[in-house]
Amino acid sequence: MASLVRITISADSLEQLREVIGREDMDLNCGGAKSTPSGGWTVEAYVTEQVAATLAKAGVRVEIDKDFMKRAAARSAEVGAGDRFQGGRTPPRGVGRKE
């Protein structure tokens, strides 16, 4: 798998942002596009460095978080392995609600 970077794409208008992100294959952050106090729009995405470079040439501002993969690897070490619910025999516990 190619190394990914987390980027923030900023555009002057929502239409410009939609047009640019529609050109490339990218995984958008689930938060979606957000308006900025200056009237622009931003969205976070996970892309290869090549796609980030292409977007930077497309007339939008691109901020690159190159340490994303390092942090992701460190955080994945915190994820447990195995079936903590023992095939459904142990119910989840916590403050969540079953709906």
pLDDT in tens, 11-21: 999 999 999 98
pLDDT at position 97: 67
The CATH number covering residue 46 comes to 3.30.70.260
Report residue 18: phi and psi, to 5°. -60, -45
Structural domain includes residue 21: yes
CB 11 within 8 A of CB 55: no
* Rounded CA separation 63/6 (Å): 8
Structural domain includes residue 94: no
**Concatenated DSSP letters for 19-36?**
HHHTTS--EE-TT--EE-
Structural domain includes residue 87: no
How many domains would you assign to the chain? 1
pLDDT in tens, 77-96: 888 888 888 888 888 788 77
